[in-house]
Structure 1
Amino acid sequence: MKKASFINLVLLLIYSMGFAQVKVSGVVKDEHNETVPFANIIFVGSNTGTVSDENGKFYLESNKTYTKIEVSFLGYETKIIPIKSRDFNLIITLKESASQLKEVFIYSGKVKKKGNPAIAILKKIWAKKRQNGIYLFDQYEYKKYEKLEFDLNNIDSVMKKSKLFKGMEFVFEGVDTSRITGKSFLPIFINESVYKSYGKNKGGRRLREDLIANKNSGFDTNQNVIAFIKDLYVDYNIYDSYIKIFDKSFVSPISKAAGVSTYNYVLRDSAFIDNKWCYNILYYPRRKNELTFKGDFWVNDTTFAVKEINMQATRSANINWVKDIYIEQEFEVLNDSIFLLKRDYMLSDFSLNKKEKSKGMYGRRTTMYKDYKFNEVKEAKFYSKEVNVYDANIYNKTADYWNLNRQEKLNKNEQGIYKMLDTLKTVPKFKQIYNLISILGSGYIELNNFDFGPIYSTFGKNDVEGMRLRIGGRTFFGSNDTWRIQAYTAYGFKDNKFKYGVSGKWMLDPKSRFIIGGGNRRDIEQIGVSLTTTNDILGRSFASSSFFASGDNSKLTSINLSNIYMSIESKHNLEFKLGASFRTLKSASPETFNLDYWIDKENNNKKSELTQSELNFSIRYRPNRKTIGYGVERNEVTDTYSTLFLNYSRGIKGVFNSDFDYQKVQFYYRQPILIGGFGRMFTTFEAGKIFGEVPLGLLSVVPGNQSYFTIENTYALLNYYEFVTDTYASLHIEHNFNGRLFSRIPLLRKLNLREIIGVKGVLGSVSDENKVLNASSTINYIAPTKGYYEYSVGIGNIFKVFRIDFSWRGNYKEIPGANNFTVKGAFGFYF
């Protein structure tokens, strides 16, 4: 027994020596017991350090053993503190330096720009930034390895004993500690990818990235979760003025446009790194509540290329659901003048609030680069070719392949994720939790090979149907199904009628995404809530099922729509679609609304039901759109791409007793614009024209919004059918400043509110021939020939989830019953 104990003790000592670490945490204060934000903490005799946060708190660790830390800040005496290998909750008090008191008093902690050596170095970085790394070469290529991980954090004894984890206690065997925050965490998801990347700089920058291998654990069958995770992490360049993270523009510490006006810079140290003499510059924000970082970077003294950089987002930054963001980048020295990105690490701490002990989830991305090659000539068409991401070999690589191609080995806990999740999936309680999350995310309840839903459309209400109950579902054998059938039925308790819709689609060729489809729908709909129309069988307007609506909401139409189509994506995100449709339209409430048109006005002969056959051809281009999956239905990774849509429709009289012969052309363009640190603007332009005589049911109705909620691409102050056109042009502009203005107002700063302004306008006409055709006794043909416009001011991020908009009508105020002012709101979860 003694011998076994001795052996165990020796093994324990060997293990401890092999994995010796030092971990320290604490808070930095001054002599008045006030916290010192952005103080510099470093292990004595090393380049490993950190910066305290806005509340003076810090955490620091190293795989090497150190016995002292150095704590310093401008205007205070530097202090050296002895530490233990595990030394937490230190309270470090800095004493004001007599020689610097005057400077601190005058500049209130801000560092002077004039004569500051750090600023002089920064200017040289700006001058050289296009002469470093891959920018030196016409063409380049490299291998990239990417690892995405998600972990539950702040694991404690209370969580381990929680009833939520009863029967799943084994998962806590994988608990680890973050080297960044010092918090315990439990890995729950990992995704690994290997890419081969190619690029060119001259003659227009181009980039091609081929996915070579991919594997993941955790939520591998839920494409919505994976799409969300992929959207969180996009590539960025520290030399750009702004770094986009979670759809927000953070000012880069290397920014030429806004760096000096946003950050304080201090030249802290100089040393050899990889045999290159480098300067160390500390930076921290001049103001709170802005999208900024704190940290430091090392820069070479001759090329002025950044060798290493650490960036930690300030907790006061106006961003929701994220407590911390931490970024590290390391650059490899190829020779005297070439610094190449070697490793990029990003950690995000997602949490409902920013309190220190609040539980949440880490999202971590590690990207590594190797095998750079330069000026291996490739023709322009090479960069247009796309890898077949549907190749099953990409997703079925062997363990030997991954061991060889991982640029960073998985640690013990990461290796255990795959095994742990396989085990978890056999636990009934985990299946229940997983299914609940899946239902909330997708809106569907999974039942073997059939999904019931979407559950969010189950209940509705309108003036014709009264309370409306809807049930439906879809086939689902997997996220990459090549075919899908969807159907629903609904019942109105006021009109006592059943409605239904059924559609199907089949992808014949995954590579070109050649799809055929069709369906039929008989339902009640509020037509005229979108200028650019489609023949989507299962699409039903929001106005048809609104629980909360203002004004008269009885102008509903009974529609019987059938269509068939085929589409092909000849180039990535470029879709061509050809289809045919047949529809009948009639009023759903003839006593209050009708679609009547004249057949023979002289003899008082009119018709109340419209029958129409139509051919459609459309082109849709969505550059930079990212999707996940390769089935007949895919999930979008982000919605911030631009969209161009061109549609041509031809009504054919006589086919299946069709009533009218006409041609319709429609154009739609939506463009998001990221304006650096001033937020994001969305612009939407639509135009269309109908050639030929058509009745009300086929005209382009300017979309009104009689709900109490803000709805995109509608006019907040217009009622349904207030304006009708056969020729129109519409422009919507909305800009969200993301708190840029409110962050400078002391009383509003802590609320993290966001300012939104918008203007919408439409110009249109309706021909005399179409006016003469109208026999409706409930709709007057009024077109915005003078150009209608409205403008709005909004406040977003109220309680992080609510937005309120105040809108004013700009003209056409004399129309009877016109709304000149309204207040509408909207709920949403945004970073």
Structure 2
Amino acid sequence: MKRDFNTNVPEVSFMENIQIDIPLSRKRDSYHQLANYLSLFVFFLFTAAVVAQTKVGGVIYDEFGDPVPFANVVFPNSSEGTISNDNGRFYLQSDQTYKTVEFSFVGYKTQTITLESRVSTDLKITLATDTAELDAVVVYSGKTSKKNNPALDILRKVWENRRKNGLSQFKQYQYDKYEKLEFDMNTIDSAMINSKLFNGMEFIFNYADTSRVTGKTYLPIFINESLASVYGDNEANKEKEVIKANKNSGFSDNQTIIAFVKDLYADIDVYERYLKFFDKSFTSPVGKAGIDTYNYVLRDTAMVDGVEAYNIVYYPRRKGELTFKGDFWVAADSYAIKEINLQATKSANVNWVKEIYIEQEYDVLNDSLFLITRDYFMSDFALNKKEESKGIYGKRTTLFDNYQFDIKKEEDFYKRRVNDYDPMIYDRSEEYWDENRLEKLNKDEKQIYTMLDTLKTNKKFKRLYNIGTILASGYYEVDNFDIGPVFGLLGFNQVEGMRVRLGGRTYFTSNDLWRLEGYLAYGFRDNQFKYGLAGKWLIDKKSRLTISGGNRRDIEQLGASLTNTNDVLGRSLASSSLITAGNNNSLSSINLTTLGISFEPKYNLEFRLGTSYRTIKSGAPDIFSLDYFDPDSPTGIATETRQADASLTMTYTPGRKTSNYGVDRTLINSGEYPILYASYTKGFDGFLESDFNFDKVQFYYSHPFQLGPFGRLTARVEAGKTFGEVPLALLNVVPGNQTYFNLTGAFNTLNFYEFVTDEYVTMHLDHNFNGRIFSRIPGLRDLNLRELVGIRAVYGKISDENIALNAGNINYLAPEDVFWEYSAGIGNIFKILRLDVSFRGGYNFLPDARSMAITGSFGFSF
């Protein structure tokens, strides 16, 4: 969007309530620019490949040598301009040729300089104080007042008029959407160009360009375009997006990458209190929660697309919170947001992201109706937030057009189909794209496809790509077969000793309709081989009708989970942890065979009907016993449980996002959606020498709650009951944890098999404050640590009949007095480590009771 900058001071009467302090205003930041510019040598190296005709960059200082934030930088007699950031840095480029550039700010004399060349990126500008302006105008510094602040008066008008703007004014709406995703390597310098890593691939640097936002040189490595029509019904609260075309280059037609990036860059509504992306809730500067989070300054007035608008600058009141800095323009008549820029503050507690930059532009249809026309989202992914660090730009540009209203669709139109994959979407012609793009590709963007298509034929690139694939997927590709997962190669437990495991799977494409998987393992202490083999076949894409089956013989920890599944290849971490808290010999030797059929009558709603036959016995019978009294046994005691059963399960995961459409789908938003699981299992005696007749019902529900600036709470409830007499191998064991790793759903201070039940209810509450407390403590603020607290409780009972079956050495004890524990922890240590300390809240009188447990986990998260 082009705006007509008013570089003069606003009318005195308009600013008469503002209190003055020019120097301290430099604590605020501009949303248009980032720091750290390349040297002239590197810049001129790529000038031949750059389209822009004029580029200027540098730092603006005052007479005392301090940087001046939010200063206007414009090409005279044009509508092209920007503002400096909180360090006084600026960058501005244009496709036109200009010989001068103008700098101005409230309280300083306007300065115009002559450019000696079209490329000047190391300018040092000093603005002189204008005494006359200081007598008339005041600028806020530090924390601004909430009283007599015209910026807040305007903001309150924005809230009052919110519902008059946007799509919510109509019963139905529809529009066209064009989306462009791009990944770029940034901060390209001579060291990178001369690196041995790029030997044989030097040609790619001919395609480098300079970011219009940061002024850094970047190299495109991935681009994706999509065209869609969006339909919505406000009365029915329904919305549907119909993809019409998708074009991809870089890492082949990788639906997972596309879906992952789209999920990171979810659409945001700046009027909401909190804006959620990167698994975080940022406080919106336009939402009602902003008044306690940001300082606001009424900075300027200008004509924006022919509409008079107020310019308000905002910046956070405190460091370390999930906040932005930037500015927005408010239409003077309707108080609608006309344009907004948001840049996440560097002190925000977000990992692996150095910069977050958002632009949104709106168009006026009448005096009260504004609709979004352009949405730009850029992130700089890097290992650290240092200015000189290299990283990857992730950029999303979305354009909106052809709005239509009050065209009603049939109710069935909005029904989400289980499988909406159409291969033709990914095979549109160049003519189709040229005709339907809402914004034509520029020269550099067109060259991306050429460069990436050439790069994919390069042998060295193929090797690097294969290494990246192994690290990302855990599998090594050999033709149509994957070897892995490589991260599960080694394990250890007291029964098997050191354990090695090697497996693989068939893999032709990400959308295979069938897949075979298997593994072979060996324990060096018990000198035994173990294996697992499974297969599945997607019969019908529309309903995702799938049959599956398999067989597994292995050593397993059955007391690590209440809600067990019949996943033949699944394995608990508790079964093969390299380090454990004390000896763990309570492992079972199982032989499991399963057969099942599943389907999805509704998106994210799955039903599964399955049968299984298993034999279970102790993995260390001299120490741990699963024996039960059996009058049909010659000795009166049976050491092995044989059981056939059939089960019906239902799993509902509203909000789950997946990619790929074959028998396997890739989960995109792990941990971000609720899970509802229910099952009924019928055990049969006599069938294939099965031992017991029983009925079992189980229920499980987990839900993550985003609590705005207070972090995220995850609540989990499990309940179940077994009807009939069953031995220990078929009872519900309250999951303990004798490892030093966090196990989902387990009690960290419990040993395995400490509590045994046939009727139970558990509750887990875990909260992550996302650094809200530590961000207010000097000395801890810059470490970006995150506070974690939790509480877990279980109530359970066991019948006298099941106790009477026990012939082993396990003491059947149920938590009828409620067992509970609480924990506190620190997350984000070195960005990947979490440590928790759990404290036992009951049953401390039991032998070997652990009053405290320390657990941890590794992981990559934003």
Q: TM-score, normalised by structure 2?
A: 0.90
Q: How far, CA to CA, are the matches of 1:154 and 1:108 in structure 2?
A: 33
Worse-matched range after superposition: 596-605 or 490-499: 596-605
Q: How far, CA to CA, are the matches of 2:456 and 2:543 in structure 1?
A: 35
Note the C-alpha offset of 1:412.
2.2
CA contact (8 A) 1:44 1:70 kept: no
1:235 and 2:267 are equivalent in the alignment: yes
1:739 and 2:771 are equivalent in the alignment: yes
Q: How far, CA to CA, are the matches of 1:282 and 1:210 in structure 2?
A: 38
Matches within 5 A, 1:157-176: 157-176=190-209
1:477-510 deviation line (CA, Å, top 9, x unaligned) = 1110000000111111111111110000000111
Structure 1: 5+ residue stretches without partners: 1-14
Residues 681, 626 of structure 1: alpha-carbon distance in 2 compared, 3 angstrom cutoff: same
1:284-314 deviation line (CA, Å, top 9, x unaligned) = 2222222111111111112211111111111
Residues 418, 771 of structure 1: alpha-carbon distance in 2 compared, 3 angstrom cutoff: same
Find 2:143's aligned residue among 99, 105, 110. Answer: 110
Amino acid at match of 1:632: V
Residues 766, 93 of structure 1: alpha-carbon distance in 2 compared, 3 angstrom cutoff: farther
CA contact (8 A) 1:69 1:81 kept: yes
1:666 and 2:733 are equivalent in the alignment: no
Residues 96, 111 of structure 1: alpha-carbon distance in 2 compared, 3 angstrom cutoff: farther
Percent same amino acid at aligned positions? 55
Q: Secondary structure at the match of 1:503?
A: strand
Q: How far, CA to CA, are the matches of 1:272 and 1:570 in structure 2?
A: 54
Note the C-alpha offset of 1:21.
4.1
1:655 and 2:687 are equivalent in the alignment: yes
Worse-matched range after superposition: 710-719 or 95-104: 95-104
Amino acid at match of 2:183: F
CA contact (8 A) 2:418 2:543 kept: no
Q: Secondary structure at the match of 2:300?
A: strand
2:584 — aligned with what?
553
Residues 707, 81 of structure 1: alpha-carbon distance in 2 compared, 3 angstrom cutoff: farther
Matches within 5 A, 1:468-507: 468-507=499-538
CA contact (8 A) 2:55 2:120 kept: yes
Q: How far, CA to CA, are the matches of 1:198 and 1:613 in structure 2?
A: 50
Matches within 5 A, 1:324-339: 324-339=355-370
Q: How far, CA to CA, are the matches of 1:90 and 1:568 in structure 2?
A: 64
Note the C-alpha offset of 1:43.
5.2
1:82 and 2:113 are equivalent in the alignment: yes
Find 1:510's aligned residue among 541, 545, 548. Answer: 541
Amino acid at match of 1:661: N
Q: TM-score, normalised by structure 1?
A: 0.94
Amino acid at match of 2:479: N
Find 1:813's aligned residue among 844, 847, 855. Answer: 844
Note the C-alpha offset of 1:41.
4.8
1:214 — aligned with what?
246
2:400 — aligned with what?
369
Amino acid at match of 1:172: F
Q: How far, CA to CA, are the matches of 1:583 and 1:552 in structure 2?
A: 26
Q: How far, CA to CA, are the matches of 2:778 and 2:109 in structure 1?
A: 32
Find 2:313's aligned residue among 279, 282, 286. Answer: 282
1:124 — aligned with what?
157
Q: How far, CA to CA, are the matches of 1:242 and 1:41 in structure 2?
A: 31
- How many residues align? The count is 811
Note the C-alpha offset of 1:762.
1.1
CA contact (8 A) 1:227 1:635 kept: no
Q: How far, CA to CA, are the matches of 2:537 and 2:514 in structure 1?
A: 4
Find 1:705's aligned residue among 733, 737, 746. Answer: 737
Find 1:138's aligned residue among 171, 176, 183. Answer: 171
1:826 — aligned with what?
857
Find 1:394's aligned residue among 420, 425, 429. Answer: 425
Note the C-alpha offset of 1:429.
1.0
Q: How far, CA to CA, are the matches of 1:115 and 1:620 in structure 2?
A: 55
Amino acid at match of 2:414: Y
2:639 — aligned with what?
608
Amino acid at match of 1:651: G
1:681 and 2:713 are equivalent in the alignment: yes
1:640-674 deviation line (CA, Å, top 9, x unaligned) = 01111111111011111110011111111111111
Find 1:724's aligned residue among 752, 756, 766. Answer: 756
Q: How far, CA to CA, are the matches of 2:554 and 2:539 in structure 1?
A: 30
CA contact (8 A) 1:330 1:342 kept: yes
1:248 and 2:280 are equivalent in the alignment: yes
Residues 103, 463 of structure 1: alpha-carbon distance in 2 compared, 3 angstrom cutoff: farther
Find 1:595's aligned residue among 608, 626, 630. Answer: 626
Note the C-alpha offset of 1:201.
1.7
2:16 — aligned with what?
none
Note the C-alpha offset of 1:603.
9.8
1:189 and 2:222 are equivalent in the alignment: yes
Find 2:460's aligned residue among 419, 429, 442. Answer: 429
Note the C-alpha offset of 1:79.
4.6
Q: How far, CA to CA, are the matches of 2:137 and 2:715 in structure 1?
A: 46
Structure 2: 5+ residue stretches without partners: 1-46
Note the C-alpha offset of 1:273.
2.3
Note the C-alpha offset of 1:128.
0.9
CA contact (8 A) 1:210 1:386 kept: no
1:9 — aligned with what?
none
Q: Secondary structure at the match of 1:343?
A: strand
Note the C-alpha offset of 1:78.
5.3
Q: Secondary structure at the match of 1:584?
A: strand
Amino acid at match of 1:762: V
Matches within 5 A, 1:298-377: 298-377=329-408
Note the C-alpha offset of 1:277.
1.8
Q: How far, CA to CA, are the matches of 2:497 and 2:74 in structure 1?
A: 68
CA contact (8 A) 2:419 2:544 kept: no
Amino acid at match of 1:122: L
Q: How far, CA to CA, are the matches of 2:637 and 2:73 in structure 1?
A: 85
CA contact (8 A) 1:584 1:610 kept: yes
Amino acid at match of 1:444: Y
Note the C-alpha offset of 1:88.
2.0
Residues 321, 228 of structure 1: alpha-carbon distance in 2 compared, 3 angstrom cutoff: same
Q: How far, CA to CA, are the matches of 1:32 and 1:727 in structure 2?
A: 75
1:674-719 deviation line (CA, Å, top 9, x unaligned) = 1111111111111111111111001111111111122222111111
1:565 and 2:600 are equivalent in the alignment: no
CA contact (8 A) 1:619 1:647 kept: yes
1:523 and 2:554 are equivalent in the alignment: yes
Q: How far, CA to CA, are the matches of 1:740 and 1:731 in structure 2?
A: 25
Q: How far, CA to CA, are the matches of 1:52 and 1:715 in structure 2?
A: 53
